[in-house]
Every structure is written in structure tokens, then in C-alpha cells.
Amino acid sequence: MPKRTDIKKILIIGSGPIIIGQGCEFDYSGTQACKVLRQEGYEVVLVNSNPATIMTDPEMASRTYIEPLTVEFLEKIIDKERPDACLPTLGGQTGLNLAVKAHKKGIFKKYGVELIGAKYEAIERAENREQFKNTMQKIGLDLPRSAFAYSVEEAVEVADKIAYPVIVRPSYTLGGSGSGICTNRKELEETARTGIDFSMIHEVLIEESVIGWKEYELEVMRDCRDNFIVICSIENLDPMGVHTGDSITVAPAQTLTDKEYQRMRDAARKVISAIGVETGGSNIQFAVNPKDGRMVVIEMNPRVSRSSALASKATGFPIAKFAAKLAVGYTLDEISNDITRVTPASFEPSIDYCVVKIPRFAFEKFEGVDPRLTTQMKSVGEAMSIGRTFKEALQKGLRSLETKRFGLGGDGRDKLGGVMLRTRDAYEDFFRKARGDEEWKKELKRRLSVPMDERIFFIKYAMKSAWTDEEIHRASHIDPWFLAQIRQIVDMETELLGAHGSPARQKALLKKAKQYGFSDRQLAFYWDSTESKVRTLRKSCGVEAVFKVVDTCAAEFRAYTPYFYSTYEDEDETVPSDKPKIMILGGGPNRIGQGIEFDYCCVHAAFALKELGFETIMVNSNPETVSTDYDTSDKLYFEPLTLEDVLNICDREKPIGVIVQLGGQTPLNLVKGLVANGIPILGTSPESIDDAEDRDRFAKLLAKIGLKQAENGIARTFEEAFEIAEKIGYPLVIRPSYVLGGRAMEIVTDKTGLKKYMTHAVEASDEHPVLIDKFLDEATEVDVDLIGDGKTYVVGAVMEHIEEAGIHSGDSASVIPPYSLSPALVEEIKLKTKQLAAGLKIKGLMNVQYAIKDQTVYCLEVNPRASRTVPFVSKSIGVPLAKLAAKVMSGKTLDELGFVTERVAPKVTVKESVFPFVKFPGVDIILSPEMKSTGEVMGIDEDFPRAFYKSQEAAYAHLPAKGMIFISVKHSDKQKVVPIAKRYHELGYVIIATRGTAEVLMKNEIPCTIVLKLKEGQPNITDFIRHQEIKLIINTPSGKGPLADESTIRSMAVSFDIPCITTLKAAHAATLAIEAMRKHPATVECIQEHLKNDGGSRSQD
């Protein structure tokens, strides 16, 4: 069927900020959809609140709304744009939920908008547990048995019928809080009680537990003619009970016979038809009992998902792109397979390699978090790897994770019994001693049976401690096939260790070791050698990586898309051209501190360099991204971002240079190694990078241009730390020198705090000193992004943070242009920034953070690379900075590029951060120098108050128009809160406050009611929260730690979806926003209009 001509304008809903469970994959899918629908001649209207996306680039859609993803704003956009259709299946759960809400409010009907991709009824059938269950039963599919309960007694009754263990899942909670697995009545009573409490409709589902069964996913597509294909099957290494998003997963499924697989395929076909997804992709999850093959359906997502992004990258089959085409009426046979060009999309990909996805966690950033992996997702990112065998892919995947591991252990990074086993002797020694140790046995048992991060390593440790596969299986329920593969790795390691000192045996083992995915680092560890020596040995023996093509068809047809992975076999399939090539190193898996923003920059570089006629080579390991779409660059290498892997590609491709400053800290960390191997670095020189990163050299540079730094020192011992502290005085910011992203960074206010930090948080040593800075309290923090070509330096924008210094720049809200700093100060900042850039001869991008205290500018740090704020700035000023930077790095000057004067942002924009606290119940939401946010949104409007309002709406922190608010501030804020509280009072809010705060307010004639603290009796503040009587919380932390009342209040606020403001500056900004909203209700505008109004030429200096 040809495409539909009755629709012309299509609205696409994006997925908003990056949160746990919704990473960059929806930027990938949305971008594909925008591109393909516009190619087909449709007008595309896009709404997404996340500026750090490729899809919200002005050229991606016809009209792009960076507006909050709420029903109110959606209606405004629909009213303005009057689209014919809305495609809600590409924006993750957020997009789908928004469409459902809008439908329920009758908005689509009111404006005559047709839902395409999935109709409302289909979405409901898939999403509503009761309807889903009924539908599955109707088509004869088995599900875990289950029933709803509304009281603890009912829950017990149901569970008795089903038999323990059971899963409790509260309906309508945020982020699945309150769910759990219960093995007995006592546990059930407790879980059901909290579950019912947390459920907005006081309902819990009690479900038969199929924990320990094998978990599978099928990624399927269907067109309007009922043609159906399976794109990919995925098997979870971690059995049922660990969320697929947190599991190590493998494609294709490994342990199903054809009969079992086809039975699953048949079921999937029935599911998608019965649910009624007429066109597009869906994800269907199954559990299979390993003992008898019983198969149950777990859930179906009637949309593209994280797994479909994975499946697309794993097979080369672009699900989202084709889903968009199907949604406008094409059938699968009318779409051609880009990779083979000659065959249609109506086939099922076959692959001749193995794909492994490994999740990346961030537990270390959240004090008091429960690190156990359960039915609710907790990981913040993932890496994917491709190898010819599972063993190879697994080890490549582990080194792609960027957790400083170089494979499945044996890399000098195994930390056991509290000791880092840095040498082969220590390693061998540990296992020799551990064998008979009862404590160790217990520890192994625990780590195997309680799923947590790094369980995969403990499988190996157990094997090294003489456990049998059978014993490991009994503890972990992990399928014996996976265990056997890991066993092969372990046996190989034993052989490698045994070849220590025997070059002949080493040589004989090399190829096989590489085929098993061992890195040169691991080999160096086994042989007391170095990575570079192993590399030399390897090359001298002719054991070199070859690259094979991902082609959707297992080589049955010739592939035209250059999408490669490395392996160790006979034939290399790359055909390096003689065009000048530039390699772009990506950022690897998403993690807190390094996310989609860097992928955005890399993609821009690829586009820009293509424009200039270079051949672009992308290297990345994150399957969620646009950068790993095979048509983003001329060549895609899906590889770990380690020195070894990158050098292998360089050997083959011989690029004229490598871009290291766009992928975050990851590529920057490779600079030394690349330089040592003679690989040219494009952009800012390696020496300058060092100048910015080396503390001493950096201090000299600052001194030269007369920029102040907070007083600081380096401590290598306990005593030194106290000396420095005495010298510069408390409060201090303190951190280990070797970490980034604010990891383990803390503010200490006194000697006790310092002592605690020095004893618990870090071990200071010669190798790893501790950095101590004077904490600039109550200082305003400013971020500046700049672009330079080595001669000319242009400031992108100066961003003023709303929260004060001390809250990580990645976590605070920030505003373009500065809203409280004097113009003279802003000028000074710009000047200093340019001087810094000149000092570093920046070629490309640079980011500087300042703290301004008492009108004095202090430099906090310089990042000689693209920063997290590049997309935000680019969208605010309408200049694609990353693109320009890439061009500069390839040799263009800013003059040639026509960007020599600063661009003034036509509107006010506010970036707000979004946090994962809802997934970590009980964790205090207080902000600190350690970054915790996973994503960001942008509000854009005529003035600061309105832009701030939008940023809050977009971050799902809805500022109430009226009602009761709760104020409780730390001692030092008690006076300062008065004018703010007064404003709230004047705006008509009812204030309740804890005793101390209330007394101050009342003394200042602000009416308020005292509310009891937790231990003061009942009803207390928690009751107000639980019943959602209060609409807003203003609570500045006193820093008493996780056991204090206030921390309970804050974390409860998260669970009950009450916005909680933790700084006075933000509380103040909120009053401005509320006032502004009362005056003029929010309006929407697309960024194409915003930027047009500007004319784009107003310049400052």
C-alpha cells in the first residue's frame, strides 16, 4: 500500500529528559522518524522538552517545540499547529502516557487528530494489567497467575491461592516504588501494606513469581496488511526477577530449540494482533521455565523501546525508521533494506555474531541506596558489544562499560576482601587462600544468589574457587550454557597465567585468547608485562584484529552499509578508502555526568565533517545513541573505547586525526596513549589538555592571567590534610584527585567532618592524593562555553546557575543570559574566559566554571572539551557550536565559518536537571558537589520567570497555583527565608512549617501553622505528605545526614510526587514564576520561530 496522502502534518511526541528507564534510545528513534517522515514529504511537528537531543535540532523537524511534555502544553501546541495525526509510539513510556492522557481529556477528538502507530484502545489493552491479562487469556496464552488486592487481608488471601513466592506490584505508583518479591506471609503483609499505601488508587497486584525462569524478549514489527516479522530475539543472562534493563542480555536467544523459539514467535504474533498494534514495532517479554519449557507472557510494550534500539543496533535493522514508515501506510515489502539495497524489509534478520548488552549502574552516587537488582530498573546506561562468540562479546562488553575493567577480571582491578589485586601474584594468592575459607564461601553464595551489580565477576570468582557450574547454577539460576561459556574464559585464564615466563606458550595461546575476548591489558597482567609490550608481541605474531560487517543477513547478500565490529579471525572486510578520514570518539555508555549531551556533540561533528567532504569514522559502544546509527557517519565501528580497541581501528583506517574533545571525559582519557602511538589529535593540543587538567600547571596558567582560584592544597597523608585545613580554614570542598563527575566530592564544615571523610571516603596516598579547596559558600556559580580556533575565541554563552556553588553544575538549574549578575561582571567573566582560551590555544570547545563570591570571580575548573551544556547553549543562541568546533578542528578558522562575534540569545532559556530519586526510595534528594541528575529539560520564553516556570513544568515539578505549602529550613537560612515566605503568603498560599521555622516566620508577621516533626507525634508532616495535602515543599538541608527527619520528608515527597525545593534561590525563583504565570498564562512557540525573530545577527562587543 502506498503512503497515506490524507494526512499532511504529523505530531511526534518525544520522551523528555533522560531518566532511568528512558535513555537516549528515544532520541535515536525520534530522530529516525523525523528524518524519514520529512523525506516522505510530511510536515513534522515535534515536541520534546529535552534540548540535548538531535531530534530537537531545528533542521530535524519542520516545527520543533521545546516545551514541557504535559497535557496542557500539548493542547496548546495542537491548537496552534493543527496536525492531522499524532505518532505517540516513538517517545517511550512518556510519549505514550502523554498521548493516553490527552486522549482521555478528549484533546485529539476536539482537534481532529488521528493517533497513528497505535490506537488508544491498543495502548490501553497493553498497558492496563487487567485488560492485558484478559486479552492474553482470550488468545490462549499463559501468564503468571495473579489477582488484585485492596487490603492486606485480601493480599494474603490471593497469595495463599497462588502460592509463595509472589510479586507485589502496586498500581499507579511513580517508578514502581513499593513493589517487591515476597517469599512468605510476613514479608507479604509488610510489602502489601506499603504497596497499598504508595498506590494512588490503593491497589496492588499479587502475581505468581516466576523468579529464576529464563527471560526472553522478542522485537517484532507488523504492518497494516498484517505482515509480521521478528527483528531480534534476546535472552537475558540474569534470569527472571532482574529487570531486563538491569540484566546482561544476549542476542540472539541461545538456549531455545527451533520448536521453542517458533512457539514464542507464534505467541508474539498473536499478542501483537490481539492487542491491536496495527503498524510499527513492539516488544514482547516472555518467561520460560527451564525445567519443563512452560512459557508465560510477561508484558508487551506497544511502542519502540530500549530493547528495540538494542535490536536495531544488534541486527542493523532500523526499527524506528521503518515503524514511522509503516505508520503512514507503507507495508514492509515496500520498504527496502538499506544495508543490502536489493532486498526488502519484509524479512527477519539473521546474524552471524553474538551481541551482549551490559547495564551500567551508579549506586556509588546515592548514599543509602539499595543496590539489589529487582523488578524495577536501576541502571543508568548500557554498553553493547559484538563478537563472533559470546565469550568475546562479553569481555568486550565489560571493557566497554568504562568502569575501569578490561574484561572479565584478571585485569589488576579485581577488588576482593577489600584489597585491589593489582598483580598476578596477589591475584593467584588470593584464590589459593580463599579456597577453603568459609567466610569467602558465604560471600560467594550471597553475591551469586542476590543479584547485584558485578554478579558476573562473582561467577568467575566462584569458578576460581572450585565451585562447579551446578553449584553456581543452583545459587544464581543462570543458565548452564552461559556458565559453560564463562568457564571457558576461566580455563583460558588459567592457561594464560600458566604461560607466564614462557614466550613460546604465550605465542601459542595468543590467537585463542583474543578470540575469547581477552584484552592486551589482561594478558599483560597474566604475564607481568605491559599493554604495549603485549601489543607488540601480538603484532609480531600476526595476531591482529579483523573487522567484520553487521549486515542483517549473515553475509547472504552483499552489504553496503559500513557498520563494523572487531574480532580475531581470518578475513578483514574493511575497505579503507583514500579519502581523508577523521575519527570521532564517542562517549560510551550513559552514566551520571556523561550522557546524551556528548553524543549530541559527536553526531554534530559527523554531520559537519561530512559537509566538508571528509570521511567520518565513528567509534562508540552505546546502543541507545544517534551516533551509532549506521547512517550518521560514513563508517561506524561499534567498539569499546579503550586504547587497544581504538588503536586497532586506527591501524586499519589510518585517519588524518582523531577528535577527542566531543565524547566527554572518555576519549580525553585516551589522549596520552594515542599520542604515544603516534596518532594525531585534532583540536586543542594534548599539551594544552594537560595544562588544563594538571593542577599545578593549571594554577600557573591562572596566575598568569590573573584569575583567582579558591585557596587549595594537596594532601597525601592524614596529617597533611589537617595542616591544609588549618591553613585555609573551613568549610572545605574535598575530593580524591583521580575521580571525575564530582565523584566522592564532599563539603566538610569542621574537623570532625574532615576526619570522617579521610577515614571512610578515601584512602589518601602518594599515588592518589586528596584535593582540598576552600569552599566558596553562598557563591553564585557560572558556566561558560567557548569556541576557539587557536586565534579567535568566541563565547557561546554565559550561564548563571540558580543554585549556589557547591551544587554540582550538572545538577543546578542554569539560565541564559545571567539574570542577577551585573553586566560588568559578565563582561569580566567573558574576558577572562577568552584569556584562558588564548592561554590554552583552544581549538574547538572549552568550558569554564566560575564561582562568584562578593563580586570576585574565582575559577573552579576548565574543561578543554565540549561540556554538558553545549546543546543547551547551541539551542539557546541558535548556533550549532559542536558543528563549528568540528570544522575548526579539521582546519577551518572561525572567520571562514563566519562566527567571530558572540550571538545573543533571542529568548531567555532555563536548563533544569532531572533526578532519579524516584527509583531509589529512601535516598535523600539533597544536592551536593557530587552530580546525581540523569537528564535535563529546557524552558524557553520571553523572560526569566516564564522560562523558569516552563523548566519546572518540563521537569515534572509542577508549581501549584494555590494550596498549602510546607517550609522548613536549616538554621542559617531562617532569616533569609522570611522575604520568600512572605511572597508565598502574599500570593495566597497557606504555609505550614516546623516549629523553628514557624517561630521565625510568625515573628515576622507571616501567618503559618506549626506542623509536628516525625518524632513529635501525630498527625505529623508525613501524614500531610501521604495524603498529598501539601503541594510544595521548601526544605533546605541542615546536613545532618541520612538519618535525620528532613531526609525522610524529602524522600517521601519524591514518592508522593510533591515538588521539593531544596535551595532558597530556587524557592525565590519559583515565586517569580508563579507571579508571572498569574499575569500571563504560558504560550508556546517553536524554536524555528524563536530563532527567526532574532534575525540571528545582533552581536555584542
Partner 1 sequence: MKAWLALEDGLVFEGEGFGAEGETFGEVVFNTSLYGYQEILTDPSYKGQLVAMTYPHIGNYGINPEDEESFHPWVEGFIVRELSPVVSNYRSRESLGDYLKRHGKTGIEGIDTRRLVKHLRDFGAKKGVLSTVDGDPVSLVRKAAESPSIVGVDLVREVTCQKPYTYRETLPPGFEWGEAKTKNKVRRIVAIDGGIKFNILRKLHQHGFDVTVVPASMSAGDILQYRPDGLFLSNGPGDPSAVTYLVETVRKLIGKLPIFGICLGHQMLGLALGGTTSKLKFGHRGGNQPVKDLLTGRIEITSQNHGFVVDIGSLPKNEVEMTHVNLNDQTLEGLRHRKLPLFSVQYHPENSPGPHDSDYLFSRFYDLIEKNG
Ligand X SMILES: Nc1ncnc2c1ncn2[C@@H]1O[C@H](COP(=O)(O)OP(=O)(O)O)[C@@H](O)[C@H]1O
Q: Which residues bind ligand X (CB under 6 A)?
A: 144, 167, 207-211, 215, 240-244, 285, 298-299, 375, 710, 733, 740-742, 773-776, 779, 781, 805-809, 849, 851, 860-861, 929
Of 221 and 602, CB closest to partner 1: 221
Work out what residue 923 binds among ligand X, partner 1, Mg ion, none; the CB cut-off runs from 5 to 8 Å by kind: none
Chain centroid to CA 85? 30
CA-atom Rg of the chain in angstroms = 28
The region of 411-419, 465-473, 530-538, 806-814 touching Mg ion under the rule CB under 5 A is 806-814
Helix axes 438-449, 469-476, angle to 10 degrees: 50
Q: For residue 1043, state whether it binds partner 1 (rule: CB under 8 A).
A: no
Q: For residue 436, state whether it binds partner 1 (rule: CB under 8 A).
A: no
Work out what residue 333 binds among partner 1, Mg ion, ligand X, none; the CB cut-off runs from 5 to 8 Å by kind: partner 1
Q: For residue 555, state whether it binds partner 1 (rule: CB under 8 A).
A: yes
Work out what residue 555 binds among ligand X, partner 1, Mg ion, none; the CB cut-off runs from 5 to 8 Å by kind: partner 1
Of 111 and 730, CB closest to ligand X: 730
Residue choice 347, 722, 730, 819 for contact with partner 1 (CB under 8 A): 347
CA–CA distance, 522 with 499 (Å, rounded to integer): 13
Sole residue written with cell 513510556 = 93
Work out what residue 558 binds among ligand X, partner 1, Mg ion, none; the CB cut-off runs from 5 to 8 Å by kind: partner 1
43 forms beta bridges with 9
CA–CA distance, 618 with 649 (Å, rounded to integer): 10
> Angle 287-292-295 (CA atoms, 0-180°, nearest 5)?
25
- Shortest distance in whole angstroms from residue 374 CB to ligand X: 7
Does the bond joining 667 to the residue before it have cis omega, within 30 degrees of 0?
Answer: no
Contacts to Mg ion from residues 653-712, by CB under 5 A: none
Q: For residue 752, state whether it binds partner 1 (rule: CB under 8 A).
A: no
Q: For residue 569, state whether it binds partner 1 (rule: CB under 8 A).
A: yes
- Shortest distance in whole angstroms from residue 280 CB to partner 1: 16
Cα end-to-end span (Å), the chain: 58
The region of 190-198, 566-574, 657-665, 874-882 touching partner 1 under the rule CB under 8 A is 566-574
CA–CA distance, 101 with 120 (Å, rounded to integer): 10
Q: For residue 925, state whether it binds partner 1 (rule: CB under 8 A).
A: no
Work out what residue 312 binds among Mg ion, partner 1, ligand X, none; the CB cut-off runs from 5 to 8 Å by kind: none
Q: For residue 314, state whether it binds partner 1 (rule: CB under 8 A).
A: no
Per-residue binder mask for partner 1 (CB under 8 A), 191-230, x = binder = ----------------------------------xxxxxx
Closest-CA residue to 191 (of 161, 150, 160, 152): 152
Residue 503: Cβ-neighbour burial (10 angstroms; 0-12, 13-18, 19+): exposed
Work out what residue 266 binds among ligand X, Mg ion, partner 1, none; the CB cut-off runs from 5 to 8 Å by kind: partner 1
Q: For residue 809, state whether it binds Mg ion (rule: CB under 5 A).
A: yes
- Shortest distance in whole angstroms from residue 353 CB to partner 1: 7
Residue choice 413, 548, 774, 843 for contact with partner 1 (CB under 8 A): 548
Question: Phi and psi for 382 in degrees, rounded to 5?
Answer: -160, 155
Q: What is the dihedral of CA 875, 877, 879, 881, to 10 degrees?
A: -80
CA–CA distance, 138 with 273 (Å, rounded to integer): 12
- Shortest distance in whole angstroms from residue 735 CB to ligand X: 8
H-run or E-run covering 1092 = helix 1087-1094
Work out what residue 256 binds among partner 1, Mg ion, ligand X, none; the CB cut-off runs from 5 to 8 Å by kind: partner 1
- Shortest distance in whole angstroms from residue 775 CB to ligand X: 5
Residue choice 91, 349, 410, 412 for contact with partner 1 (CB under 8 A): 349
Work out what residue 240 binds among partner 1, Mg ion, ligand X, none; the CB cut-off runs from 5 to 8 Å by kind: ligand X
Q: Are 765 and 716 in contact (CB under 8 A)?
A: yes
297 forms beta bridges with 286
Does the bond joining 1007 to the residue before it have cis omega, within 30 degrees of 0?
Answer: no
Residue 383: Cβ-neighbour burial (10 angstroms; 0-12, 13-18, 19+): buried
Residue choice 276, 290, 371, 673 for contact with partner 1 (CB under 8 A): 290
Residue 36: Cβ-neighbour burial (10 angstroms; 0-12, 13-18, 19+): buried
- Shortest distance in whole angstroms from residue 708 CB to ligand X: 11
Q: Are 159 and 188 in contact (CB under 8 A)?
A: yes
- Shortest distance in whole angstroms from residue 213 CB to ligand X: 7
Query: Helices in 713-810 by DSSP H: which ranges?
Result: 718-728, 751-756
Q: How far from 531 is each of 518, 653, 741, CA to CA, in Å?
A: 12, 21, 27
Work out what residue 348 binds among Mg ion, ligand X, partner 1, none; the CB cut-off runs from 5 to 8 Å by kind: partner 1
> Angle 630-636-640 (CA atoms, 0-180°, nearest 5)?
125
Of 331 and 812, CB closest to Mg ion: 812
- Shortest distance in whole angstroms from residue 376 CB to ligand X: 7
The region of 16-24, 153-161, 414-422, 479-487 touching partner 1 under the rule CB under 8 A is 479-487
Q: For residue 388, state whether it binds partner 1 (rule: CB under 8 A).
A: yes
Q: For residue 488, state whether it binds partner 1 (rule: CB under 8 A).
A: yes
- Shortest distance in whole angstroms from residue 989 CB to ligand X: 30
Contacts to Mg ion from residues 844-873, by CB under 5 A: 849
- Shortest distance in whole angstroms from residue 899 CB to ligand X: 26
Of 487 and 976, CB closest to partner 1: 487
- Shortest distance in whole angstroms from residue 305 CB to Mg ion: 8
Provide the pairing of β-strand 681-682 with 657-659. parallel
Of 744 and 981, CB closest to ligand X: 744
Sheet arrangement for strand 581-585: 546-549, 563-567, 635-638, 615-620, 581-585, 657-659, 681-682
- Shortest distance in whole angstroms from residue 66 CB to ligand X: 24
For residue 81, what are the contacts with CB-CB under 8 A and spacing of at least 6?
9, 11, 45, 63
Residue 641: HSE in the Cβ half-sphere, 13 Å Cα cutoff = 29
Q: How far from 839 is each of 703, 788, 1088, CA to CA, in Å?
A: 11, 11, 36
**3-class secondary-structure state, position 104:** helix
CB atoms within 10 A of CB 571: 8
Does the bond joining 960 to the residue before it have cis omega, within 30 degrees of 0?
Answer: no
- Shortest distance in whole angstroms from residue 351 CB to partner 1: 7
H-run or E-run covering 708 = none
Q: For residue 691, state whether it binds partner 1 (rule: CB under 8 A).
A: no
DSSP string, 789-821: ESS-EEEEEEEEEEEETTS-TTTS-EEES-SSS
Residue choice 352, 528, 896, 986 for contact with partner 1 (CB under 8 A): 352
CA–CA distance, 516 with 510 (Å, rounded to integer): 10
- Shortest distance in whole angstroms from residue 924 CB to ligand X: 18
The single-letter DSSP state of residue 1012 is: B
Work out what residue 632 binds among Mg ion, partner 1, ligand X, none; the CB cut-off runs from 5 to 8 Å by kind: none
Q: For residue 933, state whether it binds Mg ion (rule: CB under 5 A).
A: no
Of 347 and 722, CB closest to partner 1: 347
CA–CA distance, 141 with 608 (Å, rounded to integer): 51
Cell of 407: 574484561
Closest-CA residue to 616 (of 577, 666, 673): 577
Residue choice 353, 598, 638, 757 for contact with partner 1 (CB under 8 A): 353
The region of 15-23, 263-271, 970-978, 990-998 touching partner 1 under the rule CB under 8 A is 263-271
> Rule CB under 5 A: which residues touch Mg ion?
809, 849
> Rule CB under 8 A: which residues touch partner 1?
225-230, 233, 252-263, 265-266, 290-293, 331-333, 342-344, 346-354, 388-390, 469, 479-481, 484-485, 487-488, 548, 553-558, 569-571, 573
